[in-house]
Structure formats: C-alpha cells, structure tokens
Structure 1
Amino acid sequence: MSRGDTCITRTMKSYQKLTTPQPAGCQVEEEGAAPMPPARGRMAPCWVGSGLLVAAVLLSTITVWVLRQVSGGWLGPTPPPKCLLVPESHRFDCYPERQVVVTQELCESRGCCFIQSPLPAEGKQGVPWCFYPPDFPSYTLESLNQTALSMVGLLVRREKAYYPRDIEMLRLDVEFETDTRLHIKITDAANPRYEVPLDVPRAMKRAENPIYSLNFSWDPFGVLLRRTATGTVLLNTTVAPLIFADQFLQISTSLPSRFLYGLGEHRGSLLHSLDWNTLTLWARDVAPTESFNLYGAHPFYLLMEEGGDAHGVFLLNSNAMEVALQPAPGLTWRTIGGVLDFYVFLGPDPNMVIQQYQQVIGFPAMPPLWALGFHLCRWGYGSSNGTWQTVRAMRNYQIPQDAQWNDIDYMDGYRDFTFDSQKFASLPSLVEDLHKHGQRYVMILDPGISSTNPHGSYWPFDEGLRRGLFLNTTQGQPLIGKVWPGYTAFADFSNPDTHQWWLENLQHFHAHVPFDGLWIDMNEPSNFMDGSEDGCPPGELDSPPYTPAVLGDSLSSKTVCASAKQKASVHYNLHNLYGLMEAKATASALIQIRGKRPFIISRSTFPSQGRYSGHWLGDNRSQWKDMYYSIPGLLSFSLFGIPLVGADICGFSGSTSEELCTRWMQLGAFYPFARNHNTQNEKAQDPTVFSPAARTAMKDVLLTRYSLLPFLYTLFHHAHLQGDTVARPLFFEFPQDVATLGLDRQFLWGRSLLVTPVLEPGVDSVTGYVPQGTWYDFYTGSSVNSSGEMLKMSAPLEHLNLHIREGSILPTQKPGTTSEETRGNPLRLIVALSSSATAWGDLFWDDGESLDTFERGSYSYLVFNVTQNIFTSTVLHGSTEATNVTIGTLSIFGVQKLPSKVLLNGQEKPFSYLDNQVLTVSDLGISLSQGFSLQWL
C-alpha cells in the first residue's frame, strides 16, 4: 500500500468510518479479536506505512512504564506501587510551579505521585518530587476520520484537569503535507482560539511516499511517529498526559537521543543539556545571561538521531512558553495560550531539516551586498563630528568599512525621528560624505514614542494618538510606560494603519538624513517599569493560573502589561511577535522610501523574521566568555532561518583589552553580520585606536573577509533561494561523525570554509577539530590530512586559522576598503582538489542592491568544476552586470606534480607551481560572463 495511507480500524467500542476508501493492504482488526496491548492505555491498530505493527512498536510506546526499581531513595511514606514503576529520569513534572514548595498534600491533590528526593529541589533543578503516575487521566481519541488531505479526530476528556477551564473536547487535525513534513494540530473543538497569523503555505495534495509512519494511542490519546527507514521513534506523546486548559497547554514526548539544538533565544552552548533543564521563551530585554529568557522566541528544535539522521519540530505558538528537558531523554512543551500546532520535519540530514523548516516560515531575504561588509558603531560618539572623525581615521589607515552607525545619542532628547540640531548638526553632511565614498549610514530606532514633550507638539506621538495607533490599557487609553526619553507610548504594529504612520515618520526623517538601513532596538518591547505607569490591572492575563519560568516571575517584568489591547489581539498573545511585526513594517517602509533591498537589524525576533531583518545577539560584555558564546548564538540563529546574524565585536559593555579585541575582530570578521559596537563611557574599540600591530592584524582579517565577499554573497543567495545555512555547525556537514555533535568553538561558512578562532587569552596556538579528509590552509594552500581528530594549530596574535575543505572551489576577489570598491576588482578562484582530484563551486552575481534580482532574472550564475585536470567555468545564467568583472587568477591547491604545461581554452598559458602543490595561473583577464576551460598536463 502507499506509505501515505492510513488504516482506521475498530476500537473496543465501535468501528470508525472512513471518509475515503480504505487503502489496499490495511489490516483491520477482526470483531471479537483479542485487544492489543496498552500503551498507558489502548494503542489504535492503525498506521501510516507498510507492514504490520509489530511488538517492537508497542514496546517503544510503553517504555516509560516498564516495571523498574526506582534508583535512589525517597523520604516520607512509601509511595503507591504504581509510582515505583516510573524511573527517575522518566518522571514528568506534575507541579512545575516555581513559586511553590511542593508538598505531598499539594501533589496528591492533583492525583500525582510524590517521592521527595534526598537532594534539594530548590529552583526546580533535578528530579521532580511530584510526577504523573502511569494511569493519570488524559484525553481519549473518540473518532478519527479521513479526508482527502488529512485526518480529523475528536479528543474527549472525561475527568477534569487541575488547571481552571480545561477544555472537554479537542479537535485533532493531521496533514501529511509532504514526504518529509507532517502537520499535527490540536485545538478546542467548539470555540476558536488565538492562532499565530503566520502565512504558512498549505499542501495541495497528500504526501504520496512519506518517509515516516504514524500511530495513535486511543485511550489515553497519544501520537507515535517513526522514521520508516530506521524504525527510530521520533515522537511518543504517550509518556505523559495531554493537558489542554484555557491558559495551560502541556504535551510531552520521548526523544530518540540527547543531541538537541535550537529552542531560542538563550545563551549557552549549542548543544542543550537534558539534565533537568528548562528553557523559557518570552521576549525580554536583559543582557545575555545563562538560564535567562532573552530577546526572541523560537519554539523550534533540531535533534540528531543515532546514525546521523536528523529531524526538527516546530510549535507554531506565540504565547509565553517553556520547554522542559529531562534525561529520559524527554521533552515537555508548556504554553499558556493559543493552540498546539506542530510541524515535524524529517530531513533526513540536518541541512534538509532547516530547509524544510524555512519552507514553512519563509526563506530569508537577500541582503544588499554592503550589508556583508564591516560595520562600525558606538553609543557615545557624542556628535556627528565625533562620528565623522572615526570614519576619517578608518579611511586614513585604509581599513575596510561599509557602514557607519549611530546609537541613540544622535537623537534630539532620545526622541525617534529627530536628530540633535547642535551636537549632530552636520549629520546630513556626514551621510552625504559616506555616500560619496561608497559607504552607508544606519541609525537606531525604538518603538517607544515619547508621550511627554516639553517643547510642544511632537508629530509622531500627536498623530499616532489621533489615529489610535498605540497599545491601549484595558480601559481603552494609551498604555504609558517608560523607555527613552521617559514616558512613552508603544506603537501597535499589529495594526496595518500603524505601518502607514511608521512609513510617514521615516519619510520625513529620510528627507533630512538619507539613511540606508535601520537598527530596531528595544522591541521586546522593553519598558523601564513593569507594565505601565499605573501597573497592570488584576486578572488572569497579567496574573495567569500558571506563569512560565520568566525572568522576574511576571509577564510584565520590564515590558508592558499582557492585558494591553492591540488591534489583532491582546498583548498576552502578541508579545513574542512584537519585534517581527515592527521588522515587517520597517522593511516595507524602507522599500517604499529607497526602492532597494532593505537592511534591518532587530533585537527581538520570532520565526519568519529572516524574511525582514537580521539580528545581533544583544548587549554582550567585553569578556572572553562572551566571545565564545557568540558562536553558539550565531549558529542557533542559522537554525532559526535568520542567517544575517552576529554579536557586538569586542563586546558592548565594559572596556576591552587589545588582545581580546584583536582576537574578537578575527572571529567577528567571520560573523555573517560583522559590527564592532560598544557603549558610552568606555574606551573606544574601533581598529584605529589600537597599537600598529593590533591595528594591522584587524585590518588584515577584514581584508580577508572582503576578499571572500563573492563566496559569502553566494551563500546568502542559497539561503534566500532554498534555506541553506550560511554559518554552519560542523555536524551539518559531518552528521555521522559523533565527535562533531557538541562542537561550538568552530564553525563553517557553507560546506567549504572552516573557521577556528582563538577564544582564550595569552596563547599562540589553538586546538581545533579537523574532520576526516584533506583540508587546505586558506592562505598558503598547504594541506592537512586528517582522520577526524583534534589538531593543535599555530595561532600568533596576527593569525586566524582558516581551512578549505577538499573538493571545494571558492570565488574570491581582490579586496578594497568597501564592498563597492571590491566588486569592481578581478576575481581569484581558489580550487581545493579532493583526493580524487575533483572540485566544485559556484558564484551568484548581481548588482548587489536591487529588489528581486533572482526573481526577475537580473543576475549571473556560474558553476565551476574540476575533473581529470580540467577546470571549467560554465555560465548557467547571464546578465550585463557580469561583463564588468574579470577573473584574474586561478589557484589550484593539491596538484600532485609539476605540470608540463597549462592550456587556457586550448592556448598555452604561463603558470607557477610551488612545492606545497599549489598551481597558480595569473593574468587570465576573462570576463565573468564568459565560460572557459583550463587544463594542466
């Protein structure tokens, strides 16, 4: 039978009818046959996939409830026998409230097991004392019917849950959207609930050959999802009861391994700990700190299975949420609103998982080329002339720079859409000068609009108030908080009318200061007081029955009241979407104002944000550990579909040291988004202020970045086109190499370039993992043959270790001091031959800033190949832009012996050959728009 079909068979109570003909090959339980073994209850004898549902499936379903002696001891009375069936690692928390010391009485009032651990449960770390017994009541799957594209079921709860307003009947929708994507949605069967307004493409037909099989437990309800090829159980939600109350939704699953990534935004290692670790998703303004919920919310995880396969799970829900991880391994989703709307992506490799995820949330926008240059900013230049002085110093030392930024000190009294007419009087002239030198200007913008203006009218507030465009209190008045410069109202970006007002404000400012991009900050939204000037009203929006483990223990901590009214819904539902909605409005405005690709960097983010903006990792510190943490940070955002990401190079707060800043500039030169930024009242940290040796090291690594812009730009093209990652964890390319699964001190650009930075002080070497194969030193072409091992590499202060993977061809270019200057220079193609003397690479080329160049066909795309000692450049698509650029040099790493001659399109050509097996052919002078071949004999 087709693996996309599903059998619906008789339960112990009745037959369920098919709405479509039953597929051939389904085995139907005969009436009167012995019932199948339970999995916390009854497993439905139905499946997606060919073959009989064997005992192994049932055993995997009931693994959690296998009889087993509990390890360790307990305090108090001997627990009931059923509680002793649950191993410690498999105890799913029945009392997750952090503000309460769990007692046996409280626990048993919920019908749960209580075993007091001999270890303190302070902060809810460690094994839960209160956990679900195997027979805890849940929902029953009452019916399950087929439609043309999906299955629709009814779930019924006959015993009330312990949270108020639990929902008796739920609707289950299952859509087999593609062969590698499954969509499972659970919501109230009778009443509509808030759902995230994300424009998700719908499948037009049912998957024909899915690589997964799906089973259901009927009583209690549960989902069991398997990978067909390996039999690996990816989801098993029978391990704990489903809870679905109005303001508390919870579902748990077992996990097939401990290698879990994603679930942002958090600071920590790339690989999450499953040792009783809870991750909270609620946008919050706080300097990045371990264990805190940070600026964005990304309820998506990637999990590596044994053997190298990968899958991902996305919960489309914007409410306050926490994800509890435990060593079973297992995972529990808890959210306090919305619906349970899951997408599962089957890969099977991690690159494909991320591509499939972005097919749902949207592929990232193609950035302008200048966005990939070096950016410089600080809070505290003090004046436009002070800013200009830094720009001139950078030019004087010929240090590459594409964009100059200003923080809030450019504003008049910290008010949006203004600039200080005294200290920043020359700002328009500065921007004009930047443009003359092929550079760009970016400034900060906050969503808080000043509501107290001592100098009279302030059009952004007055007009926003007149049009009713701000967040309102429950009484219908503008909610007033406190940000810059004091009391402020908050723009409601869920209102389409706000987008027009936002555009008009930006148009007015652009007429005076023709900025090129925008930095949208404080958009969690941040608030210097909790809730509002009047606090928050009593009620279950601001004080819900359950509050996830948010920093401050309140939904309104350093933000606005959850009860605030917005056009689309209450802020309770929209809080995590605020930064996304602002980015969407800002991108639209920039397109209308400039007519070119928008450049936006946002602090708060949500799934699909990459379509509108990039992200920086927030207000980090000038410390060595912050430099390290930036690597798992940028790699996590690569998983989230936001490839344009980086951290404040050299740190934002505190004063850096020369050594730290030099090493950080080396690392930061390989952030996809590279900006050096620091705070006021600290030492300047732009490259010009350091010693000649440090300044030269910084300049050299920026020139290296600029030489790689064609390669980097092509990576962004693939991200935009199909959701490839730009900065990439090593395990993405070597998923079967278990040594790569925890690596987050190195990373790749694409599949080809390995970056191994120094992350510690006082050293002149670095130890990094080199995966199996041949790797070439980027600078010299010398090769390293690795069996997959940690190697110690020389790393003096002026050196960053870069290695090219065998089989790769990198398009590079003679670097200039701006991307505009660089793009006119000749290209150098670097070929890194594989052990079989083959290689491949490509190049995307357009004008670097126009909208939709790929979609309109206004681009060139070239593919490079090497086989049998012949290099070929093939133009698969051409445009006039490519005629202005030439390929000047071809460097081939790994040529085993000195050639007797080299032929360019059949004509002999001079060449050089070094002892480290590098063949170089210079002065080619071939137009990028022309294909050619080069052979060495």
Structure 2
Amino acid sequence: MNLKSPFRTRTTALFYFAATASLCLQGVLAVKKEDFKTCEQAAFCRRHRAFADAIVQASQSTISKGSSSNLAVPSSASPYIITSKSVHLEGHTLVATILHDTDKVPLKLEVIFLADGTVRIRLQEENPLIPRFDETQKHVLRDEGNTLEYASADSIGYSSETAGQSVVHTVCYTKEGNNFAVRLTEFPWSLAYMQDNKVVIEINHNGFFNFEHLRTKPDTSETNGVEGEWEETFRSWTDSKPRGPESFGVDIRFNGYDHVYGIPEHSASLSLKNTRGDKDGYGEPYRLWNLDVFEYELDSPMALYGSIPFMVAHNPNSTVGVFWLNAAETWVDVTREKSSTLSSLFRLSGSSKEQAVNTHWISESGIMDVFLMPGPSVSDLYKQYTALVESTPLPREFALGYHQCRWNYIDQDDVLAVSDKMHEHNIPYDVIWLDIEYTDGKRYFTWDSNNFPDPVAMQKQLSHDGHKLVVVIDPHIKHDSAYYVWKEGNEKEYFIKNKAKTDNYQGWCWPGESNWVDYLDSNAMEWTSGLYHLDKFNGSTTDLFVWNDMNEPSIFNGPEITIERDLKHYGGWEHRDLHNIYGMLYHKATYNGLRTRESPNKRPFVLSRAYFAGSQRYGAIWTGDNAASWDHLHASVRMVLSNNIAGMHFSGADVGGFFGNPEPELLTRWYQLGIWYPFFRAHAHIDTKRREPWVAGEPYLSIMREAILERYRMLPHWYTLFRETSLTGMPIARPMWMEFPKDTGLFAEERAFMVGSSIMVVPSTDPDISKPIDVAFPSKENWYDMHTYTSYFAPTKRQFTIDLAQTLVFVRGGSIIPTRERQRRASALMKYDPFTLYVYVSRDGTATGKLYLDDGETYDYEEGAFIERELLFVDSRLSSRPSAHTVETSAQRIFLEKMKKVRVERVVIVGLRSPLTRATVTEGDVVREIELSCGGSKASSECVVRDPAVLVSNDWEIAFS
C-alpha cells in the first residue's frame, strides 16, 4: 500500500467515497478542485506559459524601439532557427535541422506530405540521449500508420528564395482542384500552411516553440528547484522524473477564423472560449489528461475522462483541422487575435489581416507529431481525419436501442422483474445493465452466487424476449492470491511495475488493493482478451456484453485519483508517456475478447469511459458521472457534439443524470433529448431513488414511453446514419454549422443540433415550460415539424411555447426518412418488419434518402451481405435503386434470400403543393395501381400510400399524378 495514501484502510477509502457521494446527492458537494492540478501546478505547463510570455515581452520591446508591427517574419524573439543549407526534399518529406541559439542541440524536423493534402510534422532530437516515446502512432493510426497514402514525389513542386534576412522554402502540389503549399521560414523557424495562396494554419508564428531536449541530470542541489524539472511534488505525491524535463510546446494559428471546436473531453462551450486575457473566457488552458473527476463542474476546461487532441477551425469559406498525436498530458491555450492585444503583435508578411485564433499546445513528453488537415469542406476534413484514425464501424444493431441501467440492480429476480415491468408498460428496450455489485467481492469475471445463482438462465430468459445483458468489468484486478485472474496475471508478470520495477504497482479501487494490467505488452493484451471467452468467463453467454468503467485509470489513492506518472511499463516506458491511451488499450482488449469468443466472429458492444483518438473503433463512450440537473441536461448537448466533432460518434450522456434524484419533468425532458443521442442509456447512482419510467406515474410514463417508441421507430434511420459515418467519417450528431457552413449566426449554437443531415433537434432544457424557445430555421428550404407536419419556410426565426408532451424536432425539406412503425419489445424482434418511408418534399419538389440494412450482428456485410437503397423523389416519382456500394456476391445472395419478404408497407409524402389523386407502382415488369389518400388529419399537404407492397431488396418506382 502507498504510505502516502490518504486512505489507510479499505473501509476508510470506501466510506470516504460513499460519504462524498451521499453529500453530492444532497446537493452539498461540488468538485474538489484541489485534487486536480492547474497549469501553474504542472511545472512543464508553467514553464511553457512563462516562455511564451517572455517571447511576447521581447517582441513588444523590439516594436517599441521602432520596428514595424507588420513583421517580415514571425516573432523575431524566437530563439530557434533552421540551420543554413539543412533543408532538403526527400521524396514526400521536407527535412530540416532546427537549433536553439544557445543550447545548440540539433532537432530534426520532418514535414511529410500526404496524398489528400494533409501535412504531417514530426520533430524531435536528431540524436536523443535516450529514445523518446513514439508508440502512440502504433495504437492510434490506421494500421499503425503503415497504410498512410503519401503524395507522389513527381506531384510536389519545391523552391526556395531569400526573403529579407531569411530563406523561405516552399513546397506545393494540387489535389482534386485544391492548391496546397507549405512555406518553411528559416529565421526564426516557422511553417505556414497555405490553401489557394492563402495562409490558413501557421506553426510557430508567435515564436512559442520550445523543446526541452533530453539531458544528463546536473550534479547540483538546485536541479529540483521551483521549476520542477527533475522532481515535482503535488500534495502528498512526488513524481521522480528520472528522465528530467522533456516537454515541448508550439503555437498553432488559425488564420481567418474566429471559431475552433473539439479537443474533448471538457464541459466547456462548444465554440472554445479564450483561456488568456479574456474576462469572459477561462483562466486555465484546456487540459487533456484522462481523469475520474467526481461531480465535474460545468463550463470548465478541466480535464475529464477522455482526451482527443483534434481541433477544428471553421469560417464561412473553409473548415480545417489539427490533430496533435501525443498521449502524454497536454494543455491547450486559446486566444483570439481580435480580443488579444498580445497576439495581434505577430503578423506574417503578406498574411491576411482577418481575425485569427491562436492556440498554444504543450505536451509533457514524447515527440511532436502534428497533422494539419486542409478540408476545405467539412466532408473533406473528415475524410482526411478518418484516413488517419479510421471511422466508426457499424455497431451491433441492438446497441442503438434503449439501455436500462443503474448501480445496481440488486439480484437476478430484480433484473427479470424490471424486464417484466418494461413489457407490462409496453416500453421497448434492448439491454439491461449490471454495475459492480453483481460480482463476487468486486472480482471481475465472477458472480455473486447468492444474488445471481444462475446467470446463464437469467441471460437466456432475457434473450428469449430479444434482450441483451451488459456487465461492468473495470481494469483494476483485486489483489487476491485465490482469485484466478490475479493469480494468472501475477504469474505471467502482466501487471504494471512500481517505480523501481521490482514489484507490481499496487493501488486502491473498488475491490481494495488492486493491480493493473500493462497493455503495452501485447501478450498481456492478448491474455486480457482471452478472459472474455466463454470458457474463461463462467456464467457468460454470447448475449452478454461489457462496460469498461474506471479505465482512466481511476485509482482512489493515486495523485489526481489516477496512476503515478513515473511507474514503469513494458519496454521501460513511463506511464506519463501513454496515460491518455491506457483506457483505449483496455477498451481494445475487451473488444477483441468479445469479437473472438465465438466463430464466426460477431460484432462486439463495449462501452468505455476513458477514450482517445481511435477509441471509436472499439465501441461507445458516454460523458461520465453527470448530475440530475437542468444545467447538466443542457450541457450534455455540447459535450456529445464535441465528441462527435472529434470523431467519437457513438456517444451519449446518462439519461436522468447519474447523481441525484430528478424531478419528473426533468426526467421526462431528458428522455425526450436522450433518444437523439447516438448512444441512448438511462443510468443512476446506487444512492438514488428508483427511476425506471413507470416509477414517475402518469402523465410522465406515457410521455417517456412515447419518446422511447420514437427511438425505435427511427432505428432504420439511425442504422443508416451509422453506415454513412462508417464510410465517410462524418459525425452523426452534428453542430448546426456543419450543415449550414456559411450561416455565421450558427457558429456558436449549442442547443439546436442536427442528427445526420436531415433532422434538427431543439431540446427543451429549461424547467419553465412557459418560457419561449427560439428556433432559427436556416437555409432557403422548407422545414417540417416531425410530428404535426407544419411547415416553416426558411430562413426564418420562430418562438415556440410547448407543453411537457411536446418536443421540437424538425425535418429538412428534401429528406426521405425510413422507419419501422410496429411496436416490439426489442429491436431484435423487428428484424423482418416492414418499413415506412417519410418523404419531406423540398421547395423544388424533390427529396433524397437512403435505407441500409444487414444482419446487424456479423461481419458478413464486409462481403456484400447487405441491402443499401438510394431513395429519390423527383417529378412526382419515388424510386428505389441500389447504392454504388452494392456488389453481387454469394454472401449478398444468401442475405437477400433471408430478407426476400421484407417490404415497404407505407409511404407518407409531406409538403406537396397540389393534391395527388393516383399512384401506380412499377416493380420489375409488373405495373399496378395502389391505394392513395391525401389531405390527412395532420396536414392538407400529406399524402399516404397504404401498402405499396414493394420489396426493399428490389428496384421499384411509384408514380404519382
């Protein structure tokens, strides 16, 4: 046990967390900020901010002595230059050497050009004293970075010229009509990324680049001084820093932009606020360091459970991105040129005088590895990003349904009783969840035999009704020589070692004394995956899936409630180097275990709390332990959107709030919003009152039921959206600006959002139902209330006052939405149900949409076993044709045979300017007239075709007149 722990016994530790949880539920306790570092308390962050301030002061002094503020080069105070004649082009890579004006340690700069216009910048010592950690790319990039497509050497143009007192090197090439160029300046060194002859991203323009080269520890008593270079103490923990200072930082400027987004996870605003020199901004940088933050506060740049160092900048003309590939602790400052006197001092000669966002990125260790993505469109940007980290794959279909969870369902009878109550109240659901109490003394992969005497029988009963079970399995392994998991891991030496590497690191979590697996060891990863196999995880079946919680990792007696930085991993690396990918590696191990537990393999479902870029490959995430408050309801939208912006698309928030007891109105509103999260789960703390939908009684039960039924109606559309993102990388839950990129009034919008390109959701997040809700309808298009079909002619703004049973969901004109209308207990029972198509006509009388389906379980879709239809309404004709991805294969033929009776049972057309009187279907060689009725109860512009009886697998056309 760590003698510096504030907890001397297991009882003390668990009593502390139970007591604080109880206080939180009473609304007494807020986040304990003193448990977590500020930038000033993190020595490397403090040093880099001080370095940046010194550069600014030196530049101000230069200007005050008569120099022009329109500097011919970036900040002349920067001490780093590119050495003369070191710059040369090697195929698709521009190579140079950078030197500090006093320490003279050569740094190797590589500027690598990818075929899609992305530029990769790698920088470290030419001859480091010892190797720096460079394995993040192995775990994050597609195929470990081996399949990146580089620009061909003959497509690159290279030139250099003298500009003032410096030499500027330019590399340019063209991709799909877009002209890209990189301009590398030698003195002081800087890099400008240009698109169509305009600078969009600049590296080290402000001169904040600072690289702490590896060095031998000086033989002096002053090495551990106030700067904390060789040792650092936070509260009762000391970080020994055996490698000494090895951090680096650089400024990245988005020229011509005023809005930046991404870098989750924070509870911050969607459009990231300034972090320096702005009374309306934050006083701290955005921190990326995966942490278990008890009752996190809102509107804050504090680090939370996940970290994705991907930032997007947007203006009406283009969207660009920066991906900072580093898994160590990272801080990011944000300032805007128009509001920052300091940053306005630095202008590149010939660069735009428009506004700019200046960012300052600071990482503790590793190498500097940065990708600049040019867009220029949103879709271009996400193609470029997913070419690096991959897209979100198709999930198991059941995972898109409703998940019912709490900490904890008491026993086997409780689980089945909840399931029966769902059926009794006609509430569909797909998954019921078990938290930590199902285990034998918090020993994962075991069951409490008293409360869960026959888990297999329980799972079979759930499965009979179409349901699945999810159980939590956390990364901490109880230190217990009689526990087979601990015994095997210890014998195989798979646990993380202590600082001296003489024994296993031991910390405290739910089981008490625990150990953590070292996932940098591929053998340990494979061993962990094997624990999920049916022959190892007794009591599990193929209908059981997994929730990885506490995998930041959370350690009750560790610094900042996590692991110590100087612990040793496989290969001799310190934990500081890889902390932010630790949770992802555990997520991957679980994913691989579920994927390989049966043959042929089936798609897993794994929820994770910690995440990094690349986690989207392995499953869903959620926003952690939120609170049952209206503020947290509102904040969930921007948090889910920020995750989607950063490529973590399958995300949601605990419906109802984890902590506290929501009043019925809040709970109801949360369900109405939660059905529009990509991941839809209700969850609650162990000390909360039961809050399954029927507990609140009427009218709340009926309203929540209707919301959940709406989710199930829309499952075909959700699944089709996941298909789209698997191919394009486009977010599923999208901020409004993504669909309407030129509408500046939407750039900071964080309440209304889009689900795909067709549906706008405007949630009610205020307890006062009499308070009007403002809705801006963008674009010159019709918008239709999804429930009443009332149309609104955009662009326009309206105010709505709605009662508790109403929601504001609008469909964009020109959209076709597929649904399934028959009520079932679970999505598995809907597999062969017919479809309804809703056609929302645009102003020009057209509409388009897609319908995608496969078996929802296997990987057969990769062999062509799917149906994907392009739906088109034009000239009063609705047609269905196969998508370009459809290829005839043996797997496809088998799937088509299974789905041969699945049909379209109804078509609803909304927004017609003149009534229709007749409809005929052409399917193959058969032409037949079908029933049509217009002027329904909802709107005079509504026309309904009842049972056209066309098959989803066939080509067909319905002609209206």
**TM-score, length-scaled by structure 1:** 0.81
**Shift in alpha-carbon separation, 1:911–1:223, aligned structure 2, 3 A:** same
Q: Aligned letter for 1:288?
A: Y
The equivalent residue for 1:891 is 908
CA separation in 1, counterparts of 2:369 and 2:703? Answer: 50
Shift of 1:836: 0.8
**1:499 and 2:438 matched:** no
Residues 272-305 of structure 1, C-alpha deviations (whole Å, 9 max, x = no match): 1125241011111113322310111111100002
Cα RMSD (Å) of the superposition? 2.4
Shift of 1:184: 1.5
**1:429 and 2:457 matched:** yes
Report if the CA contact (8 A) 2:622-2:651 is conserved. Answer: yes
The equivalent residue for 1:149 is 92
Q: Aligned letter for 2:827?
A: S
The equivalent residue for 1:933 is 957
Question: Could you list the runs of 5+ residues in structure 1 that have no partner in the other structure?
Answer: 1-94, 118-131, 161-166, 531-555
CA separation in 2, counterparts of 1:869 and 1:110? Answer: 65
CA separation in 2, counterparts of 1:693 and 1:510? Answer: 43
Report if the CA contact (8 A) 1:769-1:788 is conserved. Answer: yes
Report if the CA contact (8 A) 2:323-2:370 is conserved. Answer: yes
**1:221 and 2:175 matched:** no
**Shift in alpha-carbon separation, 1:841–1:358, aligned structure 2, 3 A:** same
CA separation in 2, counterparts of 1:332 and 1:404? Answer: 44
CA separation in 2, counterparts of 1:110 and 1:401? Answer: 55
Shift of 1:134: 4.2
Report if the CA contact (8 A) 1:351-1:732 is conserved. Answer: no
Q: Per the alignment, in what secondary structure is the counterpart of residue 522 of structure 1?
A: coil
Report if the CA contact (8 A) 1:217-1:238 is conserved. Answer: no
The equivalent residue for 1:781 is 789
The equivalent residue for 2:233 is none
**1:580 and 2:584 matched:** yes
Shift of 1:97: 3.7
The equivalent residue for 1:194 is 133
Q: Aligned letter for 2:861?
A: F
**1:912 and 2:933 matched:** yes
**Shift in alpha-carbon separation, 1:108–1:340, aligned structure 2, 3 A:** closer
The equivalent residue for 1:727 is 733
**1:313 and 2:319 matched:** no
**Shift in alpha-carbon separation, 1:485–1:787, aligned structure 2, 3 A:** same
Report if the CA contact (8 A) 1:137-1:241 is conserved. Answer: no
Shift of 1:380: 2.8
CA separation in 2, counterparts of 1:784 and 1:370? Answer: 35
Q: Per the alignment, in what secondary structure is the counterpart of residue 840 of structure 1?
A: strand
Shift of 1:867: 1.1
Of residues 159, 162, 169, the one that matches 2:102 is: 159
The equivalent residue for 1:592 is 596
Report if the CA contact (8 A) 1:890-1:920 is conserved. Answer: yes
Question: Could you list the runs of 5+ residues in structure 2 that have no partner in the other structure?
Answer: 1-37, 61-73, 156-172, 214-245, 277-281, 338-356, 887-891
Moved more, 853-862 or 508-517: 508-517
Residues 831-871 of structure 1, C-alpha deviations (whole Å, 9 max, x = no match): 111111111111111011112x3321111111101111111
The equivalent residue for 1:209 is 174
**Shift in alpha-carbon separation, 1:522–1:253, aligned structure 2, 3 A:** same
Q: Aligned letter for 2:252?
A: T
Of residues 559, 563, 567, the one that matches 2:566 is: 563
Of residues 754, 760, 769, the one that matches 2:776 is: 769
Q: Per the alignment, in what secondary structure is the counterpart of residue 112 of structure 2?
A: strand
CA separation in 1, counterparts of 2:637 and 2:716? Answer: 23
**1:297 and 2:307 matched:** yes
Q: Aligned letter for 1:907?
A: R
Q: Aligned letter for 2:730?
A: D
- Count of aligned pairs: 789
CA separation in 2, counterparts of 1:112 and 1:673? Answer: 46
Q: Aligned letter for 2:247?
A: F
CA separation in 2, counterparts of 1:801 and 1:108? Answer: 50
The equivalent residue for 2:10 is none
Shift of 1:673: 0.5
CA separation in 2, counterparts of 1:830 and 1:316? Answer: 43
CA separation in 1, counterparts of 2:87 and 2:796? Answer: 50
Q: Aligned letter for 2:115?
A: T
**TM-score, length-scaled by structure 2:** 0.79
The equivalent residue for 1:460 is 485
**1:238 and 2:205 matched:** yes
Q: Aligned letter for 1:254?
A: R
The equivalent residue for 1:844 is 852
Of residues 665, 671, 679, the one that matches 2:671 is: 665
Shift of 1:236: 4.4
Alignment of 1:539-550 (within 5 A): none
Q: Aligned letter for 1:461?
A: W
Q: Which has the higher contact order (CA 8 A, sep 6+)?
A: 2
**Shift in alpha-carbon separation, 1:631–1:793, aligned structure 2, 3 A:** same
Report if the CA contact (8 A) 2:399-2:605 is conserved. Answer: yes
Moved more, 911-920 or 603-612: 911-920
Q: Per the alignment, in what secondary structure is the counterpart of residue 684 of structure 1?
A: coil
Report if the CA contact (8 A) 1:810-1:829 is conserved. Answer: yes
The equivalent residue for 1:693 is 699
Moved more, 244-253 or 420-429: 420-429
**Shift in alpha-carbon separation, 1:101–1:886, aligned structure 2, 3 A:** closer
**1:856 and 2:863 matched:** yes
Of residues 275, 286, 294, the one that matches 1:279 is: 286
The equivalent residue for 2:557 is 529
Shift of 1:793: 2.5
**Shift in alpha-carbon separation, 1:113–1:292, aligned structure 2, 3 A:** closer
Alignment of 1:439-454 (within 5 A): 439-451=467-479, 453=480
Alignment of 1:335-350 (within 5 A): 335-350=363-378
Of residues 721, 735, 756, the one that matches 2:762 is: 756
CA separation in 2, counterparts of 1:797 and 1:850? Answer: 40
Q: Per the alignment, in what secondary structure is the counterpart of residue 414 of structure 1?
A: coil
Q: Per the alignment, in what secondary structure is the counterpart of residue 873 of structure 1?
A: strand
Q: Aligned letter for 2:563?
A: V
Report if the CA contact (8 A) 2:832-2:899 is conserved. Answer: no
Residues 60-95 of structure 1, C-alpha deviations (whole Å, 9 max, x = no match): xxxxxxxxxxxxxxxxxxxxxxxxxxxxxxxxxxx9
Q: Aligned letter for 1:912?
A: S
Shift of 1:626: 0.6
Residues 139-172 of structure 1, C-alpha deviations (whole Å, 9 max, x = no match): 3343211122221111122313xxxxxx711111
Residues 97-150 of structure 1, C-alpha deviations (whole Å, 9 max, x = no match): 45799999x9799965669x9xxxxxxxxxxxxxx9842422334321112222
The equivalent residue for 1:402 is 430
Quote the sequence identity (%). 26
Moved more, 602-611 or 287-296: 287-296
CA separation in 2, counterparts of 1:649 and 1:836? Answer: 39
**Shift in alpha-carbon separation, 1:209–1:133, aligned structure 2, 3 A:** closer
CA separation in 1, counterparts of 2:788 and 2:485? Answer: 56
Report if the CA contact (8 A) 1:846-1:882 is conserved. Answer: no
The equivalent residue for 1:811 is 818
Shift of 1:907: 2.6
Q: Per the alignment, in what secondary structure is the counterpart of residue 512 of structure 1?
A: coil
Q: Aligned letter for 1:312?
A: G
CA separation in 1, counterparts of 2:51 and 2:505? Answer: 42
Moved more, 375-384 or 173-182: 173-182
Report if the CA contact (8 A) 1:757-1:766 is conserved. Answer: no
**Shift in alpha-carbon separation, 1:111–1:270, aligned structure 2, 3 A:** closer
The equivalent residue for 1:901 is 918
